[in-house]
Structure formats: structure tokens, C-alpha cells
């Protein structure tokens, strides 16, 4: 995996204000849906650039307001994501976090990007109990969040997948998510 260029010129063009971002997302989607060649270009942009993929196609769920929101990263999140991506698979990644900083969503997007775009990745999701790993209709569960973020992508980005309890397989590239509870 080439780590020499984690971001691209494409990401620098993504507006960070909510209205500008919404318009940009719509423009990118309409363009990608206009032809197979443009879809292929958009898939490559997402493959090459984690921050572009998140800021153009990423969504998160805010349970306190029951709202689905576009994931528009803050500069501190960009820095944390790129640092975590650079060290993924090479050394432990530790993030000291407080509530409402988006750390769980950030790391799940990082892992989902690897699962979606890199072949034969074996990724684990771990939490203190089984329900926090994988429970249907539980927004705090890690697999619920993975299911959410994948289901909110346009169909041309989503790979074929096999979803079982505590397991998600990318049938297009062989990458896997496996869930484990520590108790």
C-alpha cells in the first residue's frame, strides 16, 4: 500500500460549510451517475483519498437528535485521521478522547475505507460486551455504525458484501470485519 499521498487535490476542493458541502456532494453524485467512466473516476478518488471519501460520501447518526448528518470533518479530525492512517497496521493507535469529538466515527470510517478499498484486509471490532459490538437497531453498536455508513453510500461505491452476526465480508476484494466482545 503506497502511503506517499494520502490526500489529493480533490479533497482541497471540498467545501466545509454545510450548504456548500451539500451542493458539492450533489454535484459529485450527479456527475458520477452520468456515465460509467465518471463513476470509475469517482471511485478512484475515494480509493486514493480517505478525507475526500468521508467529506463527500460520509454520513453519521446523531442519536440525541435522531438526525442523519453529513460527515464534514474538522481540521483536528483530518490530522488525526491521516496520522492514524499512516500508522495503521504498523503500530498501535491510541486516541485520548472526550465525548462529542467523533473519534468512534472517525476510526470506523478509517477501517471501513481499508475494508472497502484495500484487498484482503482483516479488521477487528472490539467492545466491552456483545451488544456494543453487534446488535440490530442499536446505534451505539459498532457494526450498526458500519452498516449505517455503508448503506448511506451511493450504490456504485458499495461492494458486494456478506453480512452475518459479528462478521462482514467484502465479496469484491476479500476484506473482512470480525467482531469480538471482551467479556
What is the pTM (predicted TM-score) of this model?
0.92
Cβ–Cβ < 8 Å for 133, 142: yes
End-to-end alpha-carbon separation of the chain, Å? 34
Q: Give me 134's grid cell.
A: 453487534
pLDDT at 105: 96
pLDDT at 102: 86
| Rounded Cα–Cα distance for residues 72 and 85 (Å) | 18
Helix axes 50-57, 75-87, angle to 10 degrees: 130
| Rounded Cα–Cα distance for residues 21 and 165 (Å) | 35
pLDDT per residue as tens, the chain (183 positions): 444 445 667 899 999 999 999 999 999 999 999 999 999 999 999 999 999 999 999 999 998 899 999 999 999 999 999 999 998 888 777 666 666 678 999 999 999 999 999 999 999 999 999 999 999 999 999 999 999 999 999 999 999 999 999 999 999 999 999 999 998
pLDDT at 90: 81
| Rounded Cα–Cα distance for residues 171 and 36 (Å) | 21
> What's the Cα-to-Cα distance from 167 to each of 112, 114, 150, rounded to whole Å?
13, 16, 14
Residue of 154, 84, 164 whose CA lies nearest to 116: 154
Q: Give me 46's grid cell.
A: 475515494
pLDDT at 7: 60
Amino acid at each position: 500500500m503506497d502511503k506517499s499521498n494520502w490526500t489529493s487535490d480533490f479533497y482541497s476542493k471540498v467545501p466545509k460549510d454545510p450548504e456548500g458541502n451539500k451542493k458539492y456532494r450533489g454535484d459529485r453524485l450527479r456527475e458520477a451517475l452520468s456515465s460509467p467512466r465518471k463513476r470509475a473516476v469517482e471511485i478512484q478518488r475515494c480509493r486514493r483519498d480517505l478525507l475526500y471519501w468521508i467529506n463527500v460520501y460520509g454520513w453519521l447518526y446523531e442519536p440525541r437528535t435522531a438526525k442523519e448528518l453529513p460527515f464534514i470533518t474538522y481540521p483536528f479530525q483530518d490530522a488525526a485521521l491521516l496520522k492514524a492512517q499512516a500508522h495503521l497496521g504498523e503500530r498501535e493507535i491510541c486516541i485520548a478522547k472526550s465525548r462529542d469529538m467523533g473519534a468512534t466515527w472517525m476510526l470506523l470510517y478509517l477501517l471501513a475505507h481499508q475494508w472497502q478499498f484495500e484487498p484482503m484486509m482483516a479488521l477487528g471490532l472490539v467492545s466491552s460486551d456483545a451488544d456494543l459490538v453487534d446488535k440490530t437497531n442499536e446505534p451505539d453498536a459498532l457494526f450498526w455504525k458500519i452498516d449505517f455508513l455503508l448503506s448511506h453510500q451511493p450504490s456504485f461505491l458499495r461492494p458486494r458484501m456478506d453480512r452475518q452476526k459479528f462478521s462482514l465480508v467484502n465479496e469484491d476484494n476479500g476484506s473482512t470485519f470480525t467482531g469480538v466482545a471482551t467479556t
